[in-house]
Structure 1
């Protein structure tokens, strides 16, 4: 019995020893199988992530590329080589209505307002070309497309150049060349008008003209003048040399010249005593102050002379007075003729907005004064223009004078008789 028990114990020990020896091998095999399963799982996970990432990259927008600006290639050879390279002074006058020195003076004055910053997209239009485009439009009134082809720019660029130059002229040059004269300048103008016409204390000639326009959509009939076409008015006052020192623009063509005067700034300043300085001169026993010379469209005022009405026979003295007033008034008529001859856009129908047209008209008057101041030549053939399509309306006003004003006109009439001067034949200008 003891032998059997001892044999069983020995067998148990052998089994235990065998189990212990085999256990590490079984654990290592299990860990190896689990490691392979983990590797397979994570490989599948990474594959699914890569697939999902590719799908998202296909749906989401691609990264932005560098911007590309498209611009049409245009020919600028005419401006660069012909105008700037070989234009003579006659060419400058014929095409831009001013000498090259006057042109570059205007450019230098407007450069601070018109110069544009250079960017990486494209080069800006130079100030010289902007001013040249505007002057070409003023002198020819050509359509934007043809001007753009001439200068190598787009129609939109032409449009912006014209109106930018007009605004710059009115802001920079108008205060210098279109302003009320000083006292010394008034005295010089009065002396010049007296030498020219014999009128004492005359410091300006006033007149009004009409500029053709396209009929506006708003207040259509207000701009329909008495001659049957749409227009806006330009009232100008000039000195004895034909330069404007006051303009009022943009009034509807249906308005009478006297009405335009009454709503202008000149009327307000004159009636309040702020237009002229308190300077007077004794003429045939009366104190005569500064005055303007007008035509029969204007009322008779202490500061505004008009001719006697010719509806009744006039005495020789009154006829002579009418000639002298007409001679002074002719200065304004000739100034308007030169203005329109130089800037022909004022002769043809304009299609721009009314407020832009007002800026253009004032800019043309400023440029007229600059050309006259710099002595730029005016060719007589610029006046040989056809005005048959737009004949100017004729305005007349009944000759009624305020109390005391008729005595003033009578005193001036007697002064002319006492100091006669050579009579000049009056030239008529249908402006």
Structure 2
């Protein structure tokens, strides 16, 4: 009902001579049901006594309203001090978030279909997200074809440009073994090593490098858990989204917004959903992006200092 109140100005429609307009409450209920289940459009239509095409129209209307009204104030950075303190408790200093990408199943794309086939052989779109210590989405980017490498997606986001310009986080530096370190984010080996992005060591590893790799991997689990809860709660993301290509990112963004709302309000996440996610993940395994070796000057010194401190 809180959602209905927020979205009412956008979803309200007038009655016509032919039929009464669907209420805002019913529109929201239809969309939530469709997003939260792997049910077909026909099944949802039967549940609500509507036509199949009406369900599709209502779903997009509600998702656009969520993205327009709630996205920017829900998927946002929030209190940086709390985030840094949260990751510090997990063992990594001056960390502002963990970044990763996940593949969302889609039907064959209408145009340039081969671009959407990922390394595991199924059609997908990529959701790239930055997550805080509470598994809330701080920044999202959805819609890139499944064939595109995570690093390329990242370099073409507003998040990358803001981090590069030093305007996403406040200028808050700490000293690690005589080396200055700004607030950083954590990524896996598919991302470039930057002054503000730490990643694991690759190649031949000695014991100290292996020990270092264990620390950020623990903190990076926040983004994996966020993706697990996102897909477990909004199971339509596992149903090969049957939508036009330009509508899919809107639905994904709406699900991310709803994830933050549910997590923020302490909504219960059941074990049964986790088991379903694990079953579906086994059927459609996530591709692994190729590791890259690029490093910004000075970034290796920060990582080496962190390794020495750990």
- Please state which band the TM-score falls in when normalised by the shorter chain: over 0.9
- Structure 1 residue 249 corresponds to structure 2 residue 146: no
- Structure 1 residue 293 corresponds to structure 2 residue 186: yes
Q: 3-state SS of the aligned residue for 1:328?
A: helix
Q: In the TM superposition, what are the counterparts of 1:335-354 in structure 2 within 5 Å? A: 335-354=226-245
Residues of 2 paired with 1:241 and 1:131: CA distance? 27
Residue matched to 1:217: 110
Per-residue CA deviation, residues 26-68 of structure 1 (Å, 9 max, x unaligned), is xxxxxxxxxxxxxxxxxxxxxxxxxxxxxxxxxxxxxxxxxxx
Structure 1 residue runs of 4+, over 4 Å off? none
Q: In the TM superposition, what are the counterparts of 1:305-384 in structure 2 within 5 Å? A: 305-309=198-202, 311-315=203-207, 317-384=208-275
TM-score between the two structures when normalised by the length of structure 1: 0.69
- Structure 1 residue 126 corresponds to structure 2 residue 23: yes
Residue matched to 2:61: 164
Q: Which has the higher contact order (CA 8 A, sep 6+)?
A: 2
Residues of 2 paired with 1:137 and 1:376: CA distance? 18
Q: 3-state SS of the aligned residue for 1:354?
A: coil
Of 394, 404, 407, the match for 2:301 = 407
Of 83, 95, 104, the match for 1:189 = 83
Please identify the structure whose Cα radius of gyration is greater.
1
Residue matched to 1:152: 49
Residue matched to 1:232: 125
Q: 3-state SS of the aligned residue for 1:210?
A: strand
Residue matched to 1:278: 171
**Does the 8 A contact of 1:308 with 1:399 survive in 2?**
no
Deviation at 1:227, TM superposition (A): 1.0
CA RMSD of aligned residues (A): 1.3
Q: In the TM superposition, what are the counterparts of 1:7-26 in structure 2 within 5 Å? A: none
**Comparing both structures, which one devotes a greater share of its residues to helix?**
1
How many residues align? The count is: 307
Per-residue CA deviation, residues 362-418 of structure 1 (Å, 9 max, x unaligned), is 0000000000011100001101122233211111323342321111011112222xx
Residues of 2 paired with 1:260 and 1:121: CA distance? 47
Deviation at 1:156, TM superposition (A): 2.2
Q: List gaps (5 residues or longer) in structure 2.
A: none
Per-residue CA deviation, residues 324-364 of structure 1 (Å, 9 max, x unaligned), is 10011000000000000000111121120111100000000
